[in-house]
Amino acid sequence: MWRNEIGVAKYKSKTGDIYHVPYGIPGPGGSDLLGYTMYTITAADVGKSLPIFTGAECKWKGKKARDNQQKFIDHILSVGGYAGTVRSDEDYLKLIGAA
């Protein structure tokens, strides 16, 4: 998993122009942690491992994903990835089916 920070960097060019450069994937609503989880296919499926895109939205107790964050989670789930809101290591292990 990689930390996916989202925001806008502001800088001034040598000519004095101010630029705002957005960063993060995919912009507002993207999960805090992005990556993939390895899944081993059974011998009947050739026995290879493949990555599964995983998005974990980190929240404090009592907080929930904003609408745009939930839409991103729902999209990952709709294409077969692992995604959800997590508040602990245990939540993350449940998210990827390892707990």
Bridge partners (DSSP) of residue 7 are 23
* In the chain, where the domains are located: 2-95
E-state strands within the chain = 2-3, 7-12, 18-23, 33-40, 49-58, 82-86
Sheet containing 82-86: order of strands: 2-3, 33-40, 49-58, 82-86
CB 86 within 8 A of CB 59: yes
Sign of the C-alpha dihedral computed for residues 73, 3, 86 and 98 taken in this order: positive
pLDDT of residue 66: 93
**Rounded Cα distance, 33 and 96, in Å:** 13
The model's pLDDT over 7-50, given as tens digits with 9 standing for 90+, comes to 888 989 999 999 998 888 876 688 888 887 877 778 887 878 77
Q: What's the helix, strand, coil split of the chain in %, to 5?
A: 20, 35, 40
pLDDT of residue 85: 96
pLDDT at residue 65 above 90? yes
Mean pLDDT of 66-76: 92
Q: Please tell me which residue, 82 or 40, carries the higher pLDDT value.
A: 82
